[in-house]
């Protein structure tokens, strides 16, 4: 599975020559008074970096639900049962646990022990993540702790179809005859990690307390659950049955509104007491109090996941121990997970995770920071390398997002004028012409791994069409001509253009560009664009923020432009249909606050119309045709400004068993949700000492 050194060095050399020719070709556009036309988007270079064939199977061949004749647990937990600290394992499991089938495991049924060593470069602000509080990302919010949804989409890359998800907390479901009601049957007699029963009440609390409550910053609010201006509803049928009612027949994107990263079920017995609608406290808590109800030291975490966070040393270390009530087993009846512990180191940037894995001190890295690619590939070729690297399709995209809101976060005339500029397609095109995409890509990493990108769908998306891309070349003359046409002129000769009309007349055009602390490449892009856009007379002020701050300013609308790493909907549009166009109030580039009216640009309405049709289209060819039309409108109007695109690399410790061949870093979910981490195991002779061996989470009475 490793990429041999001689191969990738040859690839880099040839790619460098290719990219220099491309850049030279783009630079040959003749400077002229008129604006240069778009050019064909180049074909991707051939790299030959396959990561293994994906063994696609029917979902019921991978997981099922059934009662088994007997169940097992680690030997040290048998002692806790004998001492009365825990009920027997069969009493802690649901009536029919979820069962991972041995045939679907890459390396078969595993052995107990060991720990998974992770790394996070994002502060942990708290644990009420469905209310917008950041737990620390880098997998912390993911499969390792809180995220447990009714369904699971992460491993769908292994399934023999691409729409209907894996079951999870919902064991099975059926549609009504007219396709407008979906009845879901939940696992029965399962328990949260503190031993409290899991029931439909938890699902209803998540729906009513997060999705329906406009004051809670949930990942998807009720406007995302709206079709033809009618909202979906959810009702409890009994303790283990719920029913959705939709205004349309079998809406395609409903499954991805239920995905594990956007609708993970929250513990009602713990959190209702802090919610303003249910709390009996006097004075009643505010919604800010609710979002911050579970601070970083409110431990152990109550979860349905395989591990619960038990310790946190601020910005240093996080420890998770196995959940004794976890409700999944393997085919032999072994309660999962195989590994007893997860630890997370904390650091300031995502590069720290790469360096930690390369050094053999961490078990996993997503190669998403191209500045470390060469070092990672070089070290992976050593005979005693503790990790190996595989590569996926072109879905690693960095882009510039514009704040299109005319109300949210507008605090004065400057803000209003900047938002109006962003809504002028000539201005966005000018920025596109003045962005040396290939130059930035090559400055980050020479060779063919990175190349210019227009934005919109990733070239690695199954629904990408190269002919749909409207690709503006690097041409400063075109950029200057467009800015002159708008009326932005350097009137005083200081090198910075000024507004020449309106309330900002005579004032310099100054725009803030934020980049994210934990993404080194976003900082490199920001630094390059400050200079490139400065050459056309725009003063760009760069600001570096951490992930938590970025989330806060996005919610408040107090930002101009962001450098962002692209989301999953540009790889698989049905993953988050409401992220493709401003259908919902919390669309990332065009948010509106409750009670405000969104003023759409004409092409935005076109995108909405396409997406509305797409979300109810099950035909593969039909979806591809709609996405080609979508991408053409998106890139022609520079809805976001793509900078470069590349491939994610997956770096994994060689001692990690059961990682499926062909596992993508970034497709339906991030890799932590794709590899089924609770099934990962380590041979006994390669296991490492644990921080807190033979311990489980201990909870106070609630």
> Is residue 9 one of the residues assigned to a domain?
yes
Lowest mean pLDDT among 29-38, 496-505, 632-641: 29-38
Alpha helices in 637-677 (DSSP H): 671-674
Q: Is the domain of 282 the same as that of 332?
A: yes
Range 33-59 average pLDDT: 84
Query: Is the pLDDT at 28 greater than 60, yes or no?
Result: no
The pLDDT assigned to 138 comes to 87
pLDDT greater at residue 666 or residue 594: 666
> How many domains, in total, are found in the chain?
2
333: CATH: 3.40.190.10
Residue 117, token pair as written in the block: 């060593």
Place of tokens 């200081």: 494
Res. 3 pLDDT band, cuts 50 70 90:
very low
Counting residues of the chain whose pLDDT is more than 90, the rounded percentage is: 73
Residue 605: its H or E element: helix 602-614
> Is residue 100 one of the residues assigned to a domain?
yes
Query: Is the pLDDT at 32 greater than 50, yes or no?
Result: no
Return d(Cα 350, Cα 372) in angstroms, integer.
10
The pLDDT assigned to 20 comes to 37
Report cis status (omega within 30 of 0) of the bond before 183: no
Residue 576, token pair as written in the block: 């988050």
pLDDT greater at residue 571 or residue 48: 571
Res. 50 pLDDT band, cuts 50 70 90:
low
Res. 17 pLDDT band, cuts 50 70 90:
very low
Q: Is the domain of 325 the same as that of 437?
A: no
Asked if 141 contacts 135 with a C-beta cutoff of 8 angstroms, the reply is yes
Q: Is the domain of 229 the same as that of 245?
A: yes
Res. 11 pLDDT band, cuts 50 70 90:
very low
> Is residue 583 one of the residues assigned to a domain?
yes
Residue 141, token pair as written in the block: 């919010």
Q: Is the domain of 254 the same as that of 152?
A: yes
pLDDT greater at residue 297 or residue 24: 297
Mean pLDDT of the chain, nearest integer: 90
Return d(Cα 285, Cα 442) in angstroms, integer.
52
Residue 237, token pair as written in the block: 């049928």
Q: Looking at 647, 669, 696, which one is the last position of a domain?
A: 647
Return d(Cα 103, Cα 93) in angstroms, integer.
23
The pLDDT assigned to 33 comes to 56
Counting residues of the chain whose pLDDT is more than 70, the rounded percentage is: 94
584: CATH: 3.10.105.10
Q: Is the domain of 332 the same as that of 448?
A: no
Which DSSP letter does residue 500 get?
-
The pLDDT assigned to 173 comes to 97
Residue 662, token pair as written in the block: 């062909």
Q: Is the domain of 425 the same as that of 482?
A: yes
Res. 19 pLDDT band, cuts 50 70 90:
very low
Return d(Cα 219, Cα 614) in angstroms, integer.
21
Query: Is the pLDDT at 268 greater than 70, yes or no?
Result: yes
- How far is residue 331 from each of residues 66, 71, 336, measured CA to CA in Å? 10, 10, 11
Range 346-363 average pLDDT: 91
CA dihedral 553→555→556→559, nearest 10 degrees, is 40
Range 578-592 average pLDDT: 88
| Phi then psi dihedrals of residue 237, to 5 deg | -90, -50
Q: Is the domain of 563 the same as that of 677?
A: no
Return d(Cα 106, Cα 53) in angstroms, integer.
12
Write the burial class of residue 87 (CB in 10 Å: 0-12 exposed, 13-18 middle, 19+ buried).
middle
Query: Is the pLDDT at 31 greater than 90, yes or no?
Result: no
Per-residue pLDDT tens over the stretch 434-471: 999 999 999 998 888 899 999 999 999 989 999 999 99
Domain that holds residue 537: 5-52+393-647
> Is residue 532 one of the residues assigned to a domain?
yes
Return d(Cα 164, Cα 159) in angstroms, integer.
9
Per-residue pLDDT tens over the stretch 392-423: 889 999 999 999 999 999 999 999 999 999 99
Q: Is the domain of 36 the same as that of 158?
A: no
Query: Is the pLDDT at 492 greater than 70, yes or no?
Result: yes
Candidates 562, 573, 572, 468; CA nearest to 515 is 562
Write the burial class of residue 461 (CB in 10 Å: 0-12 exposed, 13-18 middle, 19+ buried).
buried
In sequence order, which residues have a C-beta less than 8 Å from that of residue 361 and are 6 or more positions away? Answer: 117, 345
The pLDDT assigned to 146 comes to 66
Place of tokens 């431990």: 299
Q: Is the domain of 398 the same as that of 275?
A: no
Q: Is the domain of 13 the same as that of 110?
A: no
- The SS3 of residue 397 is strand
The pLDDT assigned to 53 comes to 82
What is the DSSP pairing of strand 510-516 with strand 539-545?
parallel
> Is residue 61 one of the residues assigned to a domain?
no
> Is residue 166 one of the residues assigned to a domain?
yes
Return d(Cα 602, Cα 468) in angstroms, integer.
19
Query: Is the pLDDT at 14 greater than 60, yes or no?
Result: no
Q: Is the domain of 414 the same as that of 512?
A: yes
Up-side HSE of residue 505: CA atoms within 13 Å toward CB? 4
Per-residue pLDDT tens over the stretch 311-343: 999 989 999 999 999 999 999 999 999 999 999
Query: Is the pLDDT at 276 greater than 60, yes or no?
Result: yes
Return d(Cα 628, Cα 467) in angstroms, integer.
8
Candidates 393, 200, 330, 434; CA nearest to 678 is 330
Lowest mean pLDDT among 22-26, 513-517, 673-677: 22-26
Query: Is the pLDDT at 16 greater than 60, yes or no?
Result: no
CA dihedral 239→241→243→249, nearest 10 degrees, is 170
> Is residue 324 one of the residues assigned to a domain?
yes
> Is residue 374 one of the residues assigned to a domain?
no
Return d(Cα 525, Cα 637) in angstroms, integer.
21
pLDDT greater at residue 425 or residue 228: 425
Query: Is the pLDDT at 280 greater than 80, yes or no?
Result: yes
Return d(Cα 339, Cα 571) in angstroms, integer.
32
- How far is residue 680 from each of residues 96, 340, 652, measured CA to CA in Å? 22, 11, 11
Q: Is the domain of 643 the same as that of 660?
A: no
Per-residue pLDDT tens over the stretch 74-127: 999 999 999 999 999 999 999 999 999 999 999 999 999 999 999 998 889 899
The pLDDT assigned to 12 comes to 41
């Amino acid at each position: 599975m490793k990429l041999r050194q001689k191969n990738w060095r040859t690839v880099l050399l040839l790619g460098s020559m290719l990219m220099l020719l491309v850049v030279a070709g783009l630079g040959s556009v003749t400077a002229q008074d008129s604006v240069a036309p778009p050019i064909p988007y180049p074909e991707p270079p051939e790299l030959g970096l396959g990561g293994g064939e994906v063994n696609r199977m029917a979902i019921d061949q991978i997981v099922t639900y059934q009662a088994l004749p007997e169940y097992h647990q680690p030997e040290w937990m048998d002692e806790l049962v004998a001492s009365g600290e825990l009920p027997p394992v069969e009493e802690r499991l649901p009536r029919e646990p979820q069962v991972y089938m041995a045939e679907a495991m890459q390396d078969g049924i595993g052995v107990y022990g060991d720990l998974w060593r992770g790394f996070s470069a994002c502060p942990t602000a708290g644990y009420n993540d469905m209310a917008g509080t950041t737990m620390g990302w880098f997998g912390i919010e993911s499969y390792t702790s809180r995220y447990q949804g009714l369904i699971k989409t992460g491993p769908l890359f292994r399934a023999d179809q691409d729409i209907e998800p894996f079951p999870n907390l919902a064991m099975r479901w059926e549609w009504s005859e007219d396709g407008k009601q979906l009845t879901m049957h939940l696992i029965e007699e399962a328990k949260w990690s503190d031993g409290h029963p899991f029931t439909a009440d938890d699902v209803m609390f998540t729906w009513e307390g997060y999705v329906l409550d406009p004051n809670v910053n949930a990942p998807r609010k009720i406007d995302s659950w709206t079709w033809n201006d009618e909202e979906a509803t959810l009702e409890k049928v009994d303790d283990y049955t719920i029913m959705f009612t939709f205004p349309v027949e079998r809406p395609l994107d409903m499954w991805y509104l239920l995905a594990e990263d956007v609708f993970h079920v929250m513990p009602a017995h713990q959190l209702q007491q802090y919610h303003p609608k249910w709390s009996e406290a006097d004075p009643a808590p505010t919604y800010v109090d609710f979002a911050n109800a579970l601070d970083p030291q409110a431990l152990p975490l109550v979860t349905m996941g395989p591990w619960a966070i038990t310790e946190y040393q601020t910005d240093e270390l996080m420890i998770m121990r196995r959940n004794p009530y976890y409700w999944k087993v393997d085919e032999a009846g072994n309660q999962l997970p195989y590994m007893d512990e997860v630890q997370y180191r904390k650091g300031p940037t995502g590069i720290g995770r790469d360096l930690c894995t390369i050094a053999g001190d961490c078990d996993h890295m997503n190669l998403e920071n191209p500045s470390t690619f060469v070092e990672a590939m070089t070290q992976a070729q050593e005979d005693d390398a503790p990790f190996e690297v595989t590569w996926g399709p072109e879905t690693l995209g960095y882009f510039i997002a514009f704040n299109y809101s005319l109300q949210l976060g507008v605090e004065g005339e400057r803000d209003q004028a900047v938002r109006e500029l962003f809504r002028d397609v000539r201005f966005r095109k000018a920025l596109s012409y003045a962005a040396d995409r290939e130059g930035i890509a090559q400055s980050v990493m020479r060779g063919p791994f990175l190349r210019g990108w227009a934005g919109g769908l990733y070239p690695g998306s199954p629904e990408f069409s190269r002919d749909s891309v409207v690709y503006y070349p690097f041409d400063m003359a075109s950029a200057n001509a467009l800015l002159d046409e708008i009326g932005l002129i350097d009137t005083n000769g200081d090198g910075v253009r000024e507004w020449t009309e309106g309330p900002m007349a005579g004032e310099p055009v100054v725009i803030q560009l934020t980049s994210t602390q934990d993404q080194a490449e976003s900082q490199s892009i920001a630094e390059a664009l400050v200079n490139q856009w400065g050459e056309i007379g725009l003063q760009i002020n760069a600001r570096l923020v951490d992930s938590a701050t970025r989330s806060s300013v996005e919610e408040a609308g107090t930002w101009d432009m962001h450098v962002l790493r692209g989301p999953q909907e540009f790889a698989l549009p049905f993953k988050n249909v409401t992220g493709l166009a401003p259908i919902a109030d919390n669309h990332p580039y065009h948010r509106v606050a409750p009670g405000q009216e969104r003023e759409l640009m004409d092409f935005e309405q076109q995108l909405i119309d396409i997406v509305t049709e797409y979300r109810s289209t099950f035909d593969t060819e039909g979806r591809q045709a709609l996405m080609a039309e979508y991408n053409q409108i998106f890139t022609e109007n520079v809805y976001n400004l793509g900078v470069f695109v590349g491939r994610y690399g997956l770096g994994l410790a060689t001692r990690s068993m059961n990682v499926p061949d062909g596992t993508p870093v970034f497709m339906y979910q991030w890799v932590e949700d794709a590899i089924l981490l609770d099934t990962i195991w380590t041979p006994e002779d390669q296991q490492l000492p644990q921080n807190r061996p033979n311990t489980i989470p201990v909870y106070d009475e609630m």
